[in-house]
């Protein structure tokens, strides 16, 4: 829950300037346009989230792959 609280702006930190919204997608991550990310989800560097995926309140580690659906 700690990383989700940072993304959602509940726990202030200089590492994340202000509220990011429902998710934080790092620059080299790839997220399909119809994937649903919410609840403070963080998508790490080089991670891939496929079409139709639904992720809530999770940290997706660098290089991880979330399959379709």
Structural domain boundaries enclosing 53: 2-66
CA pseudo-torsion sign 33, 58, 67, 29: positive
Tell me what pLDDT residue 6 has. Answer: 76
| Mean pLDDT of the region 49-62 | 97
- Average predicted confidence (pLDDT) for the chain: 88
What's the rounded Cα separation, in Å, for the pair 40 and 22? 5
Q: Which residues pair with 54 in a beta bridge?
A: 36
pLDDT beyond 90 at 34:
yes
Tokens of 51: 């079409």
Beta strand 23-25 pairing with 41-43 = parallel
Full-model pTM: 0.82
pLDDT beyond 80 at 7:
no
pLDDT beyond 90 at 62:
yes
Tell me what pLDDT residue 19 has. Answer: 58
- Number of structural domains found in the chain: 1
């Amino acid at each position: 829950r700690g990383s989700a609280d940072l993304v959602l702006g509940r726990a202030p930190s200089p590492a994340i300037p202000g509220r990011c919204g429902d998710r934080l997608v790092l620059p080299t991550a790839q997220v399909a346009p119809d994937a649903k990310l919410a609840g403070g989800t963080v998508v790490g560097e080089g991670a891939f989230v496929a079409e139709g995926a639904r992720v809530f309140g999770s940290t997706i580690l660098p290089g991880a792959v979330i399959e379709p659906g």
